[in-house]
Structure 1
Amino acid sequence: MSERMERFLEWRNSVAGGDSERAIAARMGIGNNRVGRHLRESDPPVAETVIDFARAYGVNPVDGLVAAGLIAESEALRAAAHAPLRSASHMQLLEELVRREKERLRSAAAEQEEAADPALQKRKRWRRDSTIAEGLLS
């Protein structure tokens, strides 16, 4: 059995909560032979059946497609990011760009200030070390 198939079966079993193939098939409204062929024996599993299975259990079908190796996680994330970006107004996009640029400039200025002031570096290091120590003691 391939590593991809093992990953998918682990996802399938976590979603189904120990249901048998017969119980899965009943929940999906299909024959249990199809469940076995499409969700256990087929490598990779059949996309349509993965989607039907996920919907029958009320989980996101994209997670199943990723677990089955039918799409990459990066593809799923990229697709999820596109819709909000497309629906954002030009002003919202510009405001986000300005916010990011201000954040980048503040970060760069803080790094320059820290590099120019060894005493500041020492204070920051002391603050970080005391925070770690407090965490260990509590």
Structure 2
Amino acid sequence: MDSNESPIEWLKQITHSDSINKISKRSDIPYATLYKRFKMDDLATDEIIAIARGYGINPVDALVKTHVLSEEEASGIRGANALKLCTIQDIAHEIVRRDESKS
């Protein structure tokens, strides 16, 4: 999903433009609610999660794609915690890369 796309555009993409009725059945969201959301061109967070689950998509990935969460927030790994997952060689390569990019 492009940063200019709405959650409804994401929904159309992942559902292959299924009808509101079909999306409603797969996600257990009432038809009237989805109809209103299409008119408003927006989805609530819980609806994004329900639709993702209904279509077999990881809900966290869906929240990132719809810009509810950033990739950093979704990973739950930041700063020093991310470094713990890296090998010493990876850290050394990154230090060298950063040093060379300053030049």
TM-score interval for Structure 1 and Structure 2 normalised by the shorter chain? 0.5 to 0.7
- Shift, 1:101, TM fit: 2.5
Is residue 55–residue 61 contact of structure 1 (8 Å, CA) maintained in 2? yes
Q: State the distance in 1 between where 2:32 and 2:14 align.
A: 19
Q: Which residue in 1 is equivalent to 2:44?
A: 46
Length, aligned pairs only: 98
Q: Which residue in 1 is equivalent to 2:55?
A: 57
State the one-letter code of the partner of 1:86.
Answer: N
Q: State the distance in 2 between where 1:30 and 1:42 align.
A: 16
Instruction: Report which of the two structures shows the higher radius of gyration computed on alpha carbons.
Output: 1
Q: Which consecutive unaligned segments of at least 5 residues does structure 2 have? A: none
Q: State the distance in 2 between where 1:103 and 1:68 align.
A: 32
Q: State the distance in 2 between where 1:67 and 1:100 align.
A: 28
Q: Which residue in 1 is equivalent to 2:81?
A: 86
Is residue 29–residue 47 contact of structure 2 (8 Å, CA) maintained in 1? no
Q: State the distance in 2 between where 1:43 and 1:17 align.
A: 17
| CA gap 1:44/1:22 in 2 versus in 1, 3 angstroms | closer
Matched position secondary structure for 1:59: coil
- Shift, 1:89, TM fit: 4.0
RMSD of aligned C-alpha atoms? 3.4
Q: State the distance in 2 between where 1:70 and 1:104 align.
A: 30
Higher helix share: 1
Percent identical pairs in the alignment equals 21
Q: State the distance in 2 between where 1:26 and 1:35 align.
A: 11
| CA gap 1:87/1:66 in 2 versus in 1, 3 angstroms | closer
Q: State the distance in 2 between where 1:50 and 1:104 align.
A: 38
Q: Deviations over 1:19-53 (max 9, x none)?
A: 1111111112332112223x424464211011100
Q: Which consecutive unaligned segments of at least 5 residues does structure 1 have? A: 112-138
1:97 to 69, 73, 91: 91
Q: State the distance in 2 between where 1:89 and 1:82 align.
A: 10
TM-score by length of 1: 0.51
